[in-house]
Structure 1
């Protein structure tokens, strides 16, 4: 009988250790593995962010970064009441797997009455039936309300930059035809204060590097745009093999 008790205690101890280890797991996922993120709120609708949408891909990258930089947190990972979570994110992977993010709760018992309150800044991340409690104020805020206020489509400023770059791109030599990715207007200056005459500084990445096999090259263009002379290209330079951080900044995926 004593042996059975000892075996049982060892088993309980091992199981508890596994549970504690599970709760402290720090998930790591890659943006390129994510197909979509579905946000749902009990009262407040839902929204789907898809990987194949150029602007929504940036939003997915942001959420993945918050997950990967979150901190493991002690506490309950199982909800102790039957009410559904007020908000939920479902992350669908390209291989068919999925992960779920829900708000974390703290529950206390007092005189046989249990009270559960939402844990500020903490979430529960579940994948393959493994749960982890994480601390991330950015992820928590986005889970509850942030996704509702994301712009639909690219911001107007970004669209205007693309339009301007397309206009000026047509004046470049065909040698530079590959530099069409993530165009930006870096700076515009008035010439002698004249609102009709400008010096424009623009840049873009080479499309051929978008598969990720080699680093991006970046083109820098300086031009003048005036009523009497039209568009005149003054200077073109190319920076070879820029860093991953710089390419993400160029594509507005990192500050």
Structure 2
């Protein structure tokens, strides 16, 4: 019985040690520390996503989240030969001057003294902070290979229209709500008695002060009427405190 207990303790200890090693290998980046992300493809061009662009900042946030939530994976990290081309590579430039690199991972098989390496589906190699680790993330892998090419250039037309409308209605708000300028959305709009010039509008936005503070966002909900004879009239304002991270990402169109 005593031997069985000792054996179980050894197994638990080894498992815990492996978990600790994996945890130490897991890269952790902060979105606010990233200056820009640049992707280069061997055949297919290049593109940069900058931190100071409001729309591209959301893309950087998405990429950083994939890196931080990727799972450490076992397999080849360093290829012995330079014959295998790097078909796509991502460079992440930090504000302190550091650069992290992400490239596809490979699986290698030796047969008849010939080693063949093929790209590993869903896996990448992360190099940064003097360490190199193999990670599994299908989202990050797909984006590295092709996804970045299909990101919209600038905010979509519907977002720009919503921002324009919100800016108009924002000027009618009391200064008490001046902080609510982030990720504005037109939640609902309807005609009054079918008249194309008169509308009931429901809009919302997040408080900017929580943007870099690490706190949960608050969300404002505004109900108003917009008519030629009376102009804009704010009918109701409510504040939803501490919404979930998922809700805030949906508000900013970063999650469906």
TM-score (norm 1): 0.83
Q: Structure 1 residues 39, 137: CA separation in 2 closer, same or farther (over 3 Å shift)? A: same
SS at match of 1:79: coil
Deviation at 1:63, TM superposition (A): 0.5
Please provide the CA RMSD for this pair.
2.5
Deviations 1:92-141 (A, max 9, x none): 11222121111011111221222111111111111134211111111001
Query: Structure 1 residues 214-223 or 98-107, which shifts more?
Result: 214-223
Is 1:164 the counterpart of 2:171? The answer is no
Kindly tell me the number of residue pairs found equivalent between the two proteins: 237
Give the distance between the partners of 1:113 and 1:137, measured in 2 at CA: 29
Q: Structure 1 residues 70, 241: CA separation in 2 closer, same or farther (over 3 Å shift)? A: closer
| Alpha carbons 1:218, 1:240 under 8 Å: kept | yes
| Alpha carbons 1:87, 1:103 under 8 Å: kept | yes
Give the distance between the partners of 1:179 and 1:68, measured in 2 at CA: 29
TM-score (norm 2): 0.82
Give the distance between the partners of 2:60 and 2:242, measured in 1 at CA: 25
Q: Which runs of 5+ in 2 are unaligned?
A: 1-20
Give the distance between the partners of 1:210 and 1:23, measured in 2 at CA: 28
Deviation at 1:185, TM superposition (A): 1.0
Q: Which runs of 5+ in 1 are unaligned?
A: 1-20
Deviations 1:176-232 (A, max 9, x none): 333222211111123344444321110123334444176543221101223443322
Q: Structure 1 residues 64, 85: CA separation in 2 closer, same or farther (over 3 Å shift)? A: same
2:123 equivalent in structure 1: 122
Is 1:217 the counterpart of 2:218? The answer is yes
1:239 equivalent in structure 2: 240
SS at match of 1:197: strand
Q: After the TM superposition, which residues 42-61 of structure 1 pair with which residues of structure 2 at under 5 Å, given as runs?
A: 42-61=42-61
